[in-house]
Amino acid sequence: MIKALAILFYLKADDYMLPCLWKKNFGIECFGCGMQRSFSLLMQGEFSAAFKMYPAIFTLIAMFATLLLHLKFNFKNGHKIILALFVTNVIIIITNYILKIT
């Protein structure tokens, strides 16, 4: 089932990716540039290429998965884990952005 969804996503995703309006209007990439392509690569099983495209992809997935599980099961320290993952994501995204524009 998961493989079928991944194949379906792979066949259709590239046709429906949204353009970056920030890059289109201002000529520089935004903090989220590469996330869609990275997720598409992840669905294709290209884990290292997905990381190279957008390094925060794995920590973002971990953060949202933890958030959903915390909302369902209300972990004792779930909010601290989510906060730590959020801060980690912000650091990775800002560092990646700085490295891209320099």
22-34 pLDDT tens trace: 999 998 899 999 9
pLDDT per residue as tens digits for the range 31-90: 999 999 999 899 889 999 999 999 999 999 999 999 999 999 999 999 999 999 999 999
Q: How many residues does the chain have?
A: 102
Per the CB < 8 A criterion, the answer to whether 61 and 38 are in contact is no
